Each structure stands twice: as C-alpha cells, then as structure tokens.
Amino acid sequence: MDRVDSNAVLAALRQVVPAGAGPVALHEPEFNGNEWTYVKQCLDDGMVSSIGSYVDRFERMLADYTGAGHAVAVVNGTAALHVCLRLVGVQEGEEVLMPALTFVATANAVHYCGAMPHFVDSSEKTLGVDPVKLEAYLREAVTLTSAGCINRRSSRRIRALVVMHTFGHPAELDALTDVCRKFGLELVEDAAQSLGSRYQGRHVGTWGKAAALSFNGNKILTTGGGGAILTADPALAARARHLTTTAKIPHRWAYTHDEVGFNYRLPNINAAIGCAQLEQLPDFVDRKRRLAELYQQALAGVGGVHLFHEPAGARSNYWLNALMLDRPGVSARDALLAQTHDHGLYTRPVWTLMHRLPMYLGCPRTDLSVAERLEASVINLPSSARLCHAATMAQTPQQQRGA
C-alpha cells in the first residue's frame, strides 16, 4: 500500500477523463449562457468602460447570491484583497497573519499595504488555517495591549488574519472567528477560489469584515479578469467604492480627489460576462461536485492515494480536485505529475509555499510542518465543469453492459 502505482492512478483518472480528446486542461471556462447577448449589448450601447448597468447588476447579483449585503466589483482578485486590507485598517509597518499555503497574491496584497505577511500553518482536515495551532501559537508569541495585538519578537502590531479557502474548501470559520475575537484581530477572507462554497450553511466571504473574490480565467466563474469585495457594512462598501474610483468626489464636472485612491473598478463589458456567468453558477457547482464524486469512486480501489473530501460542515464548490498521497513525498508526487502530463492530463502541485519565495524569506512564521507535508502530498486534477459531461457519457456503455 505504501508505494503508489502510477499506472493504477492513471487508469483510474482515465475512467473519469477518457483518452482521445487531446490534452485536458486543469481548468477551462465555459460560456454557454447569455455572454454573447450581454457583451453585444455593451458594444451596441457604447457602454464598455467602468460606468454601466451591468456593473450595478453584477454587484447586486453577487450580494444576493452570497448574502453578503454589499459587493464592489474590481479589476481582479488581487486588487480586491488589497482594498479589503485597507478597509480593515492595515497600515505600514504592521503584520498580517496568513497561511503559507496559498497563491502569491495573498502575500503580495499585504506587501502593497507596506505591511508584512506572518505565515501560519494549515490543517490537514480543511487545507486552510488551523485554528487550534494558531491559537496555541498566539498565546506564546503575542502580547495584548491597548495598542492591539503585538508580536513580542518584532514589536510590530498584528492587525488582521487572512484566511484562504483552498481549492474551494472552507476553512473552519467559526473557530477562526473566535481566535480573531480573542486576540483583537480583523478577519479577512481570501475567497478567490471559493465562490459557491458554504460553511455551516452560510456562504464563505460573509464571516469576516471583508472578503475578496476573483473572476480570473481559471476560477469557477470568469469575467476575463475581475474580482469583487464583499462586506456586510454599508460604510465599508462606500469606502471601497471611493478607494477603487481614484478617491474621486462625485460631481457633474469637477475632478477632485481627497486621498490617494486606485483605478480598480471593473469595466462594464467584463461585468456583462459576469452576469451571464453568475446565472450559470449553481449548475457549475453541481457539475463540479458530481465530478468530484466520479473521481472519488474511480480512485476508491487505488492504493496509496485518496481524493480530498470536503471538510465537516462544509459544502464546497470543488474548484480544483486534489489527489492526496497517503505518504507525502516529493519524488512520488513528481513521478505522478510526470506520468499524468505524459498522457495529456494537466495536473499540478500546490503553489511553492510563501515562506520559500525570495521576497518573503525574511517574514515571521510559525512551525509550518503541516503545510510542508501538504506540499509534498497534493496533486490537483483536471477539474473543468464540462468534464462531468464527458465522464457521464464515457460511463454509459459500461453501465449498459453492467446493467
């Protein structure tokens, strides 16, 4: 059981994604709804830029779908994260806790604020920040003062915790909310991968003060490029609008700006694609959840590996399926990556952990042994929603024979 038989893994994956259709991407967008109609309307009306009815409509749809209250559409998920951190008051010289196991944008957004990422470990149960380990660490590492939560070693204030819902699987938001309350930290959610995921029935991105979504080309829903800020607080939503519109004071003709803002608003033409995509999101989520089931069934009899399953209390969008090695090891992982690539299946490992990247080598961090184990264990599998159809069709003859 220890050694992974990469031929057996490949054969299992081929039950789900049959050979013959050419190389299979990790994640492809799908435009089978009203995309053409809505984009054509933008072009016909000449409303392609940042003012237009699709921006308002997209924001309303996002707020309704997630239950967040308010959504502010922006140019990409990184910009959304940057603004979220500004909204919760992250200042130059402060620290922000975040997982080492994430995409680089999470750390970059902290850096853009002049603050420093402070890396914490992940949980094997959720792939997100481990609340128990985080609390134990903070008890040792910080002092609570009238000036907030202070890192005893660096003397810097720790302002916030950013949690990231890895591959669409929610982190333990209830326990993490508690840790933030105990230590006077603001909770920000990097929900870039998790639109459509819920924890205890409540959509992710609605647990902290502010959250970021991404609509990049490989996410569950795409606007070409795009992102959004979610918040329940109308004052924060107004501030987000102001900051992302060059901090311009609304006026019929005058151009006056009351602080250094950003040109971060989403163009109407992208929002038009977003409206059409959001209409299809429940179907995308259903098909991706069924695809995960198919992978799970196909891999059930294969020794040494398993498919990552949504955590307790979660309903995940299964943005990317994760094959896990029961015994983590970089050489076994890389052998499987090579084998699948050789056969036209685009698989990939997790992102290089943040504390290993040259620009973040010097950042404070806790023990990261679980993140390191996960790094040596995870292989992401092709996860486009359309593969669910392919898999269903491929199984039909077998099912007929079996019946």
Interface residues with ligand PLP (CB under 6 A) are 76-78, 81, 102-103, 105-106, 164, 190, 192-193, 214, 216, 227
CB of 397 to ligand PLP, least distance (A): 37
Q: Are 6 and 299 in contact (CB under 8 A)?
A: no
Query: Which residue lies nearer to ligand PLP by CB, 16 or 275?
Result: 275
* Residue closest to ligand PLP, measured at CB: 77
Query: Which residue lies nearer to ligand PLP by CB, 220 or 368?
Result: 220
Q: What are phi and psi of 232, to 5 degrees?
A: -90, -15
CB of 225 to ligand PLP, least distance (A): 6
Query: Which residue lies nearer to ligand PLP by CB, 106 or 245?
Result: 106
Q: Specify the residue for token string 């039950």.
A: 15
Query: Which residue lies nearer to ligand PLP by CB, 81 or 381?
Result: 81
The dihedral region occupied by 153, where left means phi > 0, alpha psi between -120 and 50, and beta the remainder, is alpha
Q: Which residues lie below 8 Å from residue 20, measured CB to CB, with a gap of 6+?
A: none
Helix (H) or strand (E) holding 227: strand 227-231
CA distance 266 to 76: 8
CB of 76 to ligand PLP, least distance (A): 4
CB of 165 to ligand PLP, least distance (A): 8
Query: Which residue lies nearer to ligand PLP by CB, 183 or 308?
Result: 308
Helix (H) or strand (E) holding 119: strand 116-120
Rg (CA), the chain: 22
CB of 75 to ligand PLP, least distance (A): 8
CB of 351 to ligand PLP, least distance (A): 9
CB of 102 to ligand PLP, least distance (A): 5
CB-based burial of residue 14 (10 Å sphere; 0-12 exposed, 13-18 middle, 19+ buried)?
A: middle
Query: Which residue lies nearer to ligand PLP by CB, 172 or 190?
Result: 190
Instruction: State how far the alpha carbon of 103 is from the alpha carbons of 118, 121, 320, 349, in Å.
Output: 15, 14, 13, 12
CA distance 374 to 205: 24
**β partners of residue 214:** 227
CA distance 356 to 37: 46
Query: Which residue lies nearer to ligand PLP by CB, 193 or 377?
Result: 193
